[in-house]
Amino acid sequence: MHELFEKVYSNEHLTRIEAAQVAEKIFEGQLTDSQIAAFLTALKCKGETAEEMAGIADTIQRKAVMIDCQKENVMDNCGTGGDQSGSFNISTTAAFVLAAGGVTVAKHGNRSISSKSGSADIFECLGVDISLSPEKTSFVLNEVGLAFLFAPQMHPKMKYVMNVRKELGTPTILNLIGPLTNPVSLNSQLMGTYRRDLLEETAKTLSELGRSRAIVVNGAGGLDEASLAGTTHFALLEEKKITMHTIEPEEFGFTRLPIEAIRGGNAKQNTDTLLSVLKNQASPYLDTVLLNAGLGFFSNGKVETIQEGIILAKDCVASGAALDKLEQLIQVQKEVA
């Protein structure tokens, strides 16, 4: 460990195997909080690589509680958080739209860390039991085509870094790879990141982890979602090939609006916003979800263009299918709880 730590302190990159070796020590409780903090900070200062992210994500996923999914082409649309935007829960809302469009969504998430409400807080407000056993969660996912996977329950070994993350008070590589550690074997993914400089590296990591198709997105203002505020940058992974793209809200008929237009609040307020979107009430919140759900359908391969994805998203909301999917999830959850 001393040699590997010195390598990072010297601004040198670790290989995937080396990163996994350090992660193995971390998540077996064999390093002190000081050592973990020093390692995470040094990685951040040096700049994280795809090899390092893949090595650590491999280890976390290997130690996760596994969920049995019988569906094909499963995806997640979890973001890193950490963008300090104060936006409402965009990806959580979009998950219902994606599921309504026939995509199986294993929604991986946590409680709030950098905002007033995280995805777990929203699902709880909706009446969803986030503490179901792995067997019951598997049943819900296969029955509904959508389930919430509460990160602390899926990753019990993360307890070894909880104190360090709180004390550091800044996003680290663990934020960057959180969306990479879904306990379900994903085929495709829409991943938001607050680090525009790591779009391509993160897409490479997704390829290393076996995704056949994925989009890593960063919106205007550093949003870890596609944004109406300006240019959205994204890396598209298609069968190991990565291409870089930008889109503007006007391309798809949306009005350009500042990030303040989609400000969120506490869990109750954001849940009300989610319900207003699923009820097709016109607002910047609805438009933002339609844009992101459209990207989600495209990243999954459900449609051939982003425009087709947005059209499908609009239909899923306008028809009531997205709201029906929420009601189905709550009903099935009650039956198995």
Residues belonging to the binding site for anthranilate are 79, 110, 165
Q: What is the dihedral of CA 97, 101, 105, 110, to 10 degrees?
A: 0
Contact, 106 vs 182, CB < 8 A? yes
Residues belonging to the binding site for Mg(2+) are 91, 224-225
* Measured distance CA(162)–CA(285) in Å, rounded: 32
* Measured distance CA(317)–CA(320) in Å, rounded: 5
Residues belonging to the binding site for 5-phospho-alpha-D-ribose 1-diphosphate are 79, 82-83, 87, 89-92, 107-115, 119
Give the closest residue to 288 by CA, choosing from 16, 85, 129, 104. Answer: 85
Coil, strand or helix at 186:
coil
Residues belonging to the binding site are 79, 82-83, 87, 89-92, 107-115, 119, 165, 224-225
Q: 221: which residues sit within 8 A by CB, 6+ positions away? A: 83, 85, 227, 229, 230, 259
* Measured distance CA(271)–CA(269) in Å, rounded: 5
